Chains A and B, each alone.
Chain A
Amino acid sequence: GAVVSQHPSRVICKSGTSVKIECRSLDFQATTMFWYRQFPKQSLMLMATSNEGSKATYEQGVEKDKFLINHASLTLSTLTVTSAHPEDSSFYICSARSGEGSYEQYFGPGTRLTVT
C-alpha cells in the first residue's frame, strides 16, 4: 500500500506555544489529505479535509484559526496547532486519499501532542 509519513511522532510543548505537524505522501501524489484527532478510548474524529492548492474544509466545531492547515504541494500537508493548551493534547493523525473517486485512505503513524 501507499506510504504516508508524519513528523514529529511525539511532541511536548508548553501552553501558549504553536506546534507544526507535517504529513507527507512518500510514493504517490495526494490531492486530498485528512486530519484527524483521537482522544484516549475514543474514535478518530475528522478535523478537516486538506485540498492541494485551496483552503481546507473544517468540520463543525473545529476552529480554523486555531488549527491552521496548509496543503501547498501534492505530497505535503501541514497542521499547525496555534496557542496550544492542555486540552489540545491528543493523538493527531493524517491520511491521504489514494486517488480521486476512491475512499481508501492511507494513514500516517500519528503525532502524539502533549501540552503542559
Chain B
Amino acid sequence: RKEVEQDPGPFNVPEGATVAFNCTYSNSASQSFFWYRQDCRKEPKLLMSVYSSGNEDGRFTAQLNRASQYISLLIRDSKLSDSATYLCVVNGMGNTGKLIFGQGTTLQVKP
C-alpha cells in the first residue's frame, strides 16, 4: 500500500464548478498535512496546510479526518487558472522534516 494515495484523475470540469479531491495516508502517527499545487514542468508550490479543525482560504477548503486517515481539498467556483496537479503531502517519520508526496490529482478546468 502506498503511504499517500490519491486518485490521479484527470478531473475535467467546467468553469464555475465545485470539485473535490481526496487523499488517504497509511501512517496513523502522521502529524502534518499539506496540499501542494504543481503546474506542468514546474516545481510544487504550497497551496495550504491542513489542520485538524479544517481550514479555508478563499475558494479552497481543506479537511482532515484523522480517524479515517483521510484528507480532502474542495475547490469552489473553479477558474481556468486552477488547472494543475494537486499533490497531497504528509510528513515522514522521525524529526527529519521529510515529506511524503502522493501521486497527484490532475485537474483540467474547461471554458
Binding site for B on A (CB under 8 A): 1, 32, 34, 42-46, 49, 57, 91, 93, 97, 102-110, 112
Contacts and interface: CB of A to CB of B under 8 A. Distances in A.
Interface residues on B, range: 20 to 34
Nearest to A36: B101
Secondary structure at the B interface, as helix, strand, loop or mixed, is loop
Interface of B: 31-32, 34, 41-46, 49, 87, 91-92, 96-104
B41 A112 contact: yes
| A-B interface, 7 closest residue pairs, ranked by CB to CB distance from nearest | A103-B32, A107-B43, A97-B97, A103-B91, A44-B101, A43-B103, A43-B101
Contacts of A93: 43-44
A109 B32 CA distance: 23
Given A49-B96, A93-B43, A97-B97, 10 more contacts: A1-B46, A32-B96, A34-B98, A43-B104, A93-B44, A103-B32, A103-B99, A104-B34, A107-B43, A112-B41
Contacts of B41: 91, 110, 112
6 contacts: A43-B101, A45-B101, A49-B98, A104-B46, A106-B46, A112-B41
